[in-house]
Amino acid sequence: MSVVRPTVAVMTLLSHDRLCAEITAQTDLLQPLVEGGDMRAPVPSCPGWNVGQLLRHLGGAQRWAAETVRTRAAGPLPDDHFRDLSPYADEDPARLGPWLGESAALLADALREAGPDAEVWTPVPGGTAAFYARRFTHETVVHRADATLALGAEFTVAEDVAVDALDEWMELGALPMHFDVHPRMRELLGPGRTIHLHATDTDTVTDTGTGAAAEWVVDLTGEVITWRRAHEKAAVAVRAPLTDLLLLVYRRRPAGGEGVEVLGDARLLDLWLERVAFG
For the chain, domain boundaries: 16-155, 178-275
Q: How confident is the model at residue 4 (pLDDT cuts 50, 70, 90)?
A: very low
Closest CA to 119 of 133, 130, 110, 109: 130
Tell me the DSSP string of 206-261.
Answer: -TT--EEEEEEEEE-SSSS-EEE------SEEEEE-HHHHHHHHTTSS-TTSTT-E
Whether residue 126 has pLDDT greater than 60: yes
* 164-206 pLDDT per residue, tens: 999 999 999 999 988 888 888 999 999 999 999 999 998 654 4
* 230-256 pLDDT per residue, tens: 999 999 999 999 999 999 999 999 888
Contact between residue 139 and residue 279 where contact means Cβ atoms under 8 Å apart = yes
Instruction: Indicate the class that CATH gives domain 16-155.
Output: mainly alpha
- Average the pLDDT over 75-96 and give the result: 93
Q: Say which residue, 1 or 105, is predicted with more confidence.
A: 105
The span from the CA of 29 to the CA of 224, in Å, is 38
pTM of the model: 0.91
178-275: CATH topology is Nonspecific Lipid-transfer Protein; Chain A (3.30.1050)
The span from the CA of 184 to the CA of 188, in Å, is 8
Q: How confident is the model at residue 78 (pLDDT cuts 50, 70, 90)?
A: very high
Fold match between domain 16-155 and domain 178-275: no
Residue 73 contacts by C-beta under 8 Å, 6 or more apart in sequence? 67, 120, 121
User: Which one-letter DSSP state was computed for residue 195?
Assistant: E
